[in-house]
Amino acid sequence: MITFLSGGTGTPKLLEGARNMLPDSDISVIVNTGEDIWYQGGHISPDVDTVMYLFAGLLNTDTWWGVRGDSFLTHDVLKTLLPASYMSIGDKDRAVHIARAEWLKKGMTLTRVTQQLCSHFGVSTTILPMSDSPYTTYVRTAKGDIHFQEYWVRYRGNTDICAVLHVPDEQPPATPEVIDAIRKAEVVIIGPSNPVTSILPILSCTGVREELAQKKVIAISPFIGEGPVSGPAAQLMKTMKYPADSTGVRALYADLVDVFIQDERDTAQVPGSVRLDTLMKTPAIAERLMREILTRL
């Protein structure tokens, strides 16, 4: 079994390539929940949903979020009633958020809710939220602390930030299922997701770093030069006082990583790294990258 640590954009592209080489049942994905948010009566787990929709064959791979071909009737009406609405959520996607919220209110854990949703959509891959406890990512701005979703979706990342914080300010416990997925893995792959807001929250869960220390870990940098392939990783890395390039990512992951992969076009020099084509513009490129990664096992 191969276990991935994933956020909601870069790593799912790699997972798409992995599916062409491995049975879904041989893949486990530990997913960031630091960006989860209660919103308009629903509970959104954006990264969990992206991974789940991918394996269900429902993901909109033009945007890498939401359901392919979804309608937005509810969103259109809500915009007239609640003009401050800043998330464009499809109707089918919103139904998942509402169901999740109802189950959580009834006392189900996020892990159990995710299992139930995966069963409903016929997903055989093991998709695991990193923790059943809240660990929400906020950014500090001149006007105060705001949820990461508000920073990235409402403001498009166009506001200065001076700190990245989490609420509550204590390590969340990794679930037993997460620990088990790491222990059973032949290799753990840290995908090319945002290092600060997607991967670090997973690494912050109690027990995760200790378990990874016993495993072979391969990490893929999301940077090519001084810019990430997508998302606000550069600004976030600078806020964390790390270089906004692959050298910063390597330093951030420190001694957890056995094999560090960066793009063949990357101008940053990381000693000992493996150079591959990591710009996954097509599923074929993602499959080729995954095949080359597996040769490093």
- Report the percent of the chain where pLDDT is more than 70: 99
Concatenated DSSP letters for 77-135? HHHHH-TT------HHHHHHHHHHHHHHHTT--HHHHHHHHHHHTT--SEEEESBSS--
Instruction: Give the pLDDT score at 226.
Output: 67
The rounded distance, in Å, linking the Cα atoms of 245 and 268 is 7
How would residue 227 be classed by pLDDT, with cut points 50, 70 and 90? low
Residue among 194, 147, 163 nearest 35 (CA): 147
Q: How far apart are the first and last CA of the chain?
A: 12
Instruction: Give the pLDDT score at 225.
Output: 76
Provide the sign of the torsion angle of the four alpha carbons 59, 152, 177, 290, taken in this order. positive
Provide the sign of the torsion angle of the four alpha carbons 220, 224, 227, 230, taken in this order. negative
56 secondary structure, DSSP code: H
Residue among 77, 81, 82, 113 nearest 98 (CA): 113
pTM over 0.85: yes
Instruction: Give the pLDDT score at 151.
Output: 92
Burial classification of residue 206, based on how many CB atoms lie within 10 Å of its CB (0-12 exposed, 13-18 middle, 19 or more buried): middle
The rounded distance, in Å, linking the Cα atoms of 233 and 244 is 8
What is the token pair recorded at 252? 């951030």
Q: Residue range 34-45: average pLDDT? A: 97
What is the token pair recorded at 117? 């949703």
| Torsional class of 156: left (φ above 0), alpha (ψ -120 to 50), beta (otherwise) | left
Residue 49 labelled as part of a binding site = yes
The rounded distance, in Å, linking the Cα atoms of 249 and 260 is 10
Provide the sign of the torsion angle of the four alpha carbons 237, 241, 243, 246, taken in this order. negative
The pLDDT of residue 229 is above 80: no
Instruction: Give the pLDDT score at 233.
Output: 85
The rounded distance, in Å, linking the Cα atoms of 275 and 150 is 35
Condensed to tens digits (0 to 9), the pLDDT of residues 172-222 reads 999 999 999 999 999 999 999 999 999 999 999 999 999 999 999 999 999
The rounded distance, in Å, linking the Cα atoms of 169 and 83 is 32
Residue 119 has phi, psi (to 5 degrees) of -60, -45
Q: Residue range 72-83: average pLDDT? A: 96
Could you tell me the domains of the chain?
A: 2-294 (3.40.50.10680)
